[in-house]
């Protein structure tokens, strides 16, 4: 049986009791104060940005996990921020581009290793309209900016499993003309 995701959390975050035990597959419960903590996935965003030449904006990861592999801009949502605000903030931090509009595409679950923990996420893919795409500059978690023609986009070059799966799905949407059609909607 796999280790419970909350196994590293030994003490109740409310009262500090060591009697913080597995309640079910999604939670732990404190036997002293009764507090139940549910382990739910974190919201994460992924930006799909296509320029006027029908090229996909791709970044090279500057940090672990999967340092040096390809990625799409994005990251964790902050508290009190919508997913649309989160994806726009992440694009600005990683590329300097201003997102003017977003359109939700799909989600893919992921496990993102960070700080010795496996963070379960729901990666939300958004088609983003960015103004002045020629001014993209790598920053923050991005070591390099690349504009790839769709014919050169290969899912196996993306180091995070959910992004690789998402890119494969994006390639299908692009081949069917859906990316172009959706791009015209916003």
Tell how far CA 96 is from the center of its chain. Answer: 18
Q: Say if CB 22 and CB 101 are below 8 A apart.
A: no
Answer for the pair 73, 144: CB distance below 8 angstroms, yes or no: no
**37 touches 28 (CB < 8 A):** yes
Q: Which residues of 164-181 are buried (b: 16+ CB within 10 A; e: fewer)?
A: bbbbeebbebbeeeebee
Chain centre distance of CA 39: 18
CA–CA distance from 107 to each of 45, 46, 50, 96 (Å)?
9, 9, 19, 25
> For residue 120, what are the CA distances in angstroms to 40, 130, 144, 149?
7, 28, 26, 31
Specify whether 144 is catalytic. yes
State the Cα–Cα distance between residues 97 and 93, nearest whole angstrom: 8
Which of 98, 144, 152, 156 is catalytic? The answer is: 144
Catalytic annotation, residues: 144
């Amino acid at each position: 049986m796999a280790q419970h995701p909350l196994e590293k959390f030994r003490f109740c975050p409310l009262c500090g009791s060591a009697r913080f035990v597995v309640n079910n597959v999604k939670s732990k419960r404190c036997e002293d104060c009764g507090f139940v903590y549910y382990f739910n996935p974190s919201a994460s965003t992924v930006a799909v940005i296509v320029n006027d030449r029908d090229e996909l904006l791709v970044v090279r990861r500057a940090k672990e996990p999967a340092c040096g592999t390809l990625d799409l801009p994005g990251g964790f949502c902050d508290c009190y921020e919508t997913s649309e605000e989160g994806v726009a903030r992440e694009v600005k931090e990683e590329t300097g581009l201003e997102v003017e509009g977003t359109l939700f595409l799909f989600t893919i679950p992921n496990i993102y290793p960070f700080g010795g923990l496996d963070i379960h996420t729901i990666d939300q893919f958004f088609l983003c309209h960015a103004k002045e795409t020629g001014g993209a500059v790598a920053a923050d978690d991005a070591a390099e900016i690349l504009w790839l023609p769709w014919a050169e986009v290969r899912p196996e070059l993306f180091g995070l499993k959910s992004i690789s799966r998402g890119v494969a799905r994006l390639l299908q949407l692009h081949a069917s003309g859906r990316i172009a059609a959706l791009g015209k909607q916003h």
